[in-house]
Structure 1
Amino acid sequence: MPDKTTTMRDAIAEFVRDGDTVSLEGFTHLIPTAAGHEIIRQRRRGLTLVRMTADIVTDQLLAGGCVTKLISSFVGNSSAGSLGELRRRIEHSDPEPLEFEEYSHYGMICRYLAGAQRLPFYPLRSYGGSDLPSVNPGLRKVTSPYEDGEQVYVVPPVNPDVTIVHAQRADRSGNTQIWGLTGIQAEAVYAAKRAVVVVEEIVSDEVVRSDPNRTVIPAHAVDAVVVCPRGAHPSFAQGYYDRDNAFYRAWSQISKDPERLRTWLTEWVLDTRDHAEYVDKQGEQVWTGLAVGDAYSEPVNYGRRL
């Protein structure tokens, strides 16, 4: 298999283009924050951002002037407050309006499933009695060919130009392993035309083959692999570092003030060369506080011929 490793700078330069539909996925942990920062550094414009749970990295991409449309099912600062930039754009068109296409969590999952399977739509029942169809014309009904006259809601597929996900580890060809919350990363990758995987570390083929069930995304679906330790901060990477709750609490106040937000963006993203400099700037005290202990799973015997 070919070596697909590259730098974050080169991956974003090659695979993210102005006007693209870009999926950034990772649920609660393994959020591809460092990739979002590099998109801001490279000043991509006119992006449609697809993110099931739009959170801090969404707020930052909006403040960086990168995103003109958001497709999401949840917006918020992960139980720690609001997203100031997002609210200003949706509620007051300040400094400019944001086109927002809203779905439920499961609706977004179904869009990725349809996109990954190249289906024209995906059926679901959960919009019955919901107000969402009144604000999203993309939620429609079809008649079941199996039940007499039954109407069921459907959602359209989503096929991003590029999907970027963060993971714990991969080999050089892109076999990507995730544990803990796995979210919708695999489906988001399969739905996309191009896929970039950002990982905490590269491991040998032997490590991946020793635990094949942990390979959530196979190499054939991946175009590039980027090694970026601590690249999910302030979210966590199970087994590598904890969630930076202090950062989440601070973000509500940072993003509430447009001037303070832009000052933060300049200092921590635009004026840093890359994520390694961002990590160093955070300081060792932060990373010591986010350190995690060992909690190994029991070995599994896959068996082999004698």
Structure 2
Amino acid sequence: MIRTSLVKPNKPLFTDLAGLAGLVRDHDVFGVGGHHFARLPITLIKAIMARGTKRLRYVSWAGGLPLELLLEADAIAEIDTCFSSLDIFGLPPRFRRAAETGALPVRDWTALAMIQALRAAQQNLPSLPFQPPVGSDMMARVPGVKLAPDAIDGEPMAFAPALRLDTLVLHAQRADESGNVQILGPRALDVAMAGAARQVLVTVEEIVPVGALAQAGRQTVLTRNQVTAIALAPGAAYPTSCLPFYVTDYARLSEAFSDNGRRLSESLSAPGEAVRAQVVDAAKIDAATVNAVADTLASPALLPTPAPASIDEILAARIAAELGNDSFASAGAVSPLANVAYRLAKATHAPGMIIATMSCGHLDVAPSPMILSLLESLDGETAAAHAGGDDTYSTYYQAGAVTHEIVAAAKVDRRGRVNTIAIDKPSGGVIRLPGQGGMADVANMHRDYLLYVPRHSPLSVVDEVEIASSARGLLTEAERVPHGYRTGRSLVFTDLCVFRLDTETRQLVVIETMPGVTLEQIREATGFPISIDPECRAVAALDKDMLALLRSRIDPLGLRRLEFVNAKRRAALLDEILALDREFVDRCIQGSGAARGQARARR
């Protein structure tokens, strides 16, 4: 095998956006840095689209917005990704259409397979090993991965072939005049991808003198011999975030993703002055201000007469009860309910637990209120450390240190296996789902295996899933201990009941019912004959103080509700949440301005 040299010059080229875009060639294996709605190189991608670049092989941990833009421009020939989602805005339509029609080849990777494949390229190795995702069907889906005995102890191991990129594009906060690039906050797979890429093209908010980068704390630096070319492009991640300069503009994203007849790239134009001021001012809001505003709004005199607990609130509290001071809970990409449960537990009975957000990019965060526009900055401020997905896998996931990563399942079967890749339509054809992300890997690594199904029906709780995208293949203590994994609880929560995955039968058993739900209702809503634990009981009523805390301090916008509504109701609910988000942010900006004025007066 001939391995292309990945060594770059010691002095990157300083150019403009057109210069960067001109370095991308047709047919490139093309990686995109950033993650979720953070530090995505939106302006550079639009410049590449404008040049008419074609036949790219898109390779990234996530698809999402960058992939949608490139698909709109007919620039993509192949897709390699772990998942593709528009986060709270749902499934990406262009990705879905390409996958469902077979118009483009879509290859599903597990996160760990992609990490090891990139690291193999970075280290000039033909492959690197990783733990096989026992119980799932993913070994047959990841391209080029092989199962072979370990050279030392003969245990079966998975081996990922080196994944070399032609081009990586990313947006970062700063570069110095020598070409060293600073990344602040979570860095997803940026470091591994940069090491695996022939050329690394970067847009930055600022270019600063040599030595200035050393003044920033909790940063990652791509040294100048890892970078090919740099362009100064302030605001080039908009409408996604680039902290500490600006937050994600969720209102603009919502408008862009709505069916308004405009091309997506046109809807993501540069912000007007009022919008620019809003996202810039919001980036300056600190946790103390947010907590002060939340305290004000949580005043008993301002709160309406409390309504009875809804099912989303009951589930959040019930899941929170599974967490304790020894828990290390990681929040997945699109799991508002789990995120609420984690913060509720840490704010009440489990203050010693560790919460990691942004795919483990923020480590050990405080249970700040879940304000949509501010959550990334609040978690970034309160986190003990910032990290990347590549190093957190080896440090925490593979080590078995994470106890929980509680995620929603589109479909779960009687053996607790999940399908988040593609489900069959009753009328024929398939519905493409986001993908499994990293759940195939971590389903066995976490101490506890906890899932939730927001809408329990015969279509979502089934006898057998079409594709087992993730599963608890190593279930018993005897199976887990030889792999270095702890053994905890295996549960599936739904809006009707709680299932336990029995270690003997390896099938789901009903152990709790939701308030007011009968066993007959559960039978009718389940796609297989249910087994019932002899000690089955009803879930306890939600304590009124915990309910008040959940509503006023943990999730004042009600983000948890998004997982419990259908597509028709979702748009109206999103509008409501975005209005509440804007109101809260405006209050915080006013509060920050008043505090700065008082500070100046004291001086």
Shorter-chain TM range is 0.7 to 0.9
Partner amino acid, structure 1, of 2:107: E
CA separation in 2, counterparts of 1:19 and 1:182?
Answer: 26
**Aligned AA (2:92):** L
Match of 1:85 among 75, 94, 99: 94
Separation of aligned partners in 2, 1:179 and 1:159:
25
Say whether 1:154 aligns with 2:163: no
- Are the aligned partners of 1:235 and 1:242 in contact in 2 as well (CA < 8 Å)? yes
Q: In the alignment, which residue of structure 1 is the partner of 2:115?
A: 109
Amino acid aligned to 2:26: D
In structure 1, C-alpha distance between the alignment counterparts of 2:32 and 2:285, rounded to whole Å? 28
| Secondary structure of the structure 2 residue equivalent to 1:230 | coil
In the TM superposition, what is the alpha-carbon distance from 1:285 to its structure 2 partner? 2.2
Q: Summarize deviations over 1:209-257 as a string: whole Å, max 9, x none.
A: 4459734200011110111111112221120100111233334434xx8
Q: Give the secondary-structure state (helix, strand or coil) at the position aligned to 2:90.
A: coil
Mapping of residues 131-150 of structure 1, within 5 Å: 131-147=137-153, 149-150=154-155
The answer to whether the 8 A contact 1:197-1:225 is kept is: yes
Q: Tell whether the 8 Å contact from 1:78 to 1:248 is kept in structure 2 after alignment.
A: no
> Aligned pair in 2 of structure 1 residues 58, 137: CA closer, same or farther (>3 Å)?
closer
Q: CA deviation at 1:47?
A: 0.5
1:288 maps onto 2:264 in alignment: no
Aligned pairs (5 A) from 1:16-95: 16-28=24-36, 29-93=38-102
Opposite residue 105 of structure 2, the aligned amino acid is: E
Amino acid at match of 2:148: V
Structure 1 stretch 157-166 or stretch 119-128: which is displaced more?
119-128
SS of residue in 1 equivalent to 2:284: coil
Residue 177 (1) aligns with residue 182 (2): yes
1:172 is displaced (CA, Å) by 2.6
Asked whether the 8 Å contact 1:33–1:231 carries over to 2, the reply is: yes
- 1:217-256 equivalences under 5 Å are 217-254=222-259
AA paired with 2:57?
T
SS of the counterpart of 1:178?
strand
Distance 1:246 1:211, change over 3 A: closer
Distance in 2 (CA, whole Å) between partners of 1:79 and 1:60 is 18
Structure 1 match to 2:338: none
The match for 2:198 among 174, 182, 193 is 193
Matching residue's letter, 1:23 = G
Query: Could you tell me which residue of structure 2 aligns to residue 5 of structure 1?
Result: 14
Q: CA RMSD in A?
A: 2.2
| CA displacement 1:181-234 (0-9 Å, x = unmatched) | 122212211111111111111111020244597342000111101111111122
Give the gaps of 5 or more residues in structure 2. 1-9, 287-379, 382-603
Structure 2 partner of 1:301: none
Q: Alignment partner for residue 163 of structure 1, among 151, 168, 172?
A: 168
Structure-1 separation of matches of 2:245 and 2:273: 15
Provide closer, same or farther for how the CA distance between residues 3 and 71 of structure 1 changes in structure 2, counting only shifts above 3 A.
closer
SS of equivalent residue, structure 2 residue 165:
coil
Q: Could you list the runs of 5+ residues in structure 1 that have no partner in the other structure?
A: 270-277, 298-306
DSSP-derived class of the 2:70 partner: helix
Name the TM-score, length of structure 1 as normaliser.
Answer: 0.83
Letter of the structure 1 residue corresponding to residue 279 of structure 2 = L
Q: Deviations over 1:239-291 (max 9, x none)?
A: 0100111233334434xx8xx25x444x458xxxxxxxx42xx3122222212
State the one-letter code of the partner of 2:147.
K
| 1:130 alignment counterpart | 136
Instruction: Report which stretch shifted further, 120-129 or 194-203.
Output: 120-129
Q: Read off the aligned partner of 1:293 and give its amino acid letter.
A: K
Q: In the alignment, is the contact (CA less than 8 A) between 1:32 and 1:165 conserved in 2?
A: yes
CA distance change for structure 1 residues 78 and 61 in 2, over 3 Å: closer, same or farther? same
Q: Which residue of 2 aligns with 1:272?
A: none
Shift in alpha-carbon separation, 1:44–1:38, aligned structure 2, 3 A: same
Aligned length: 276
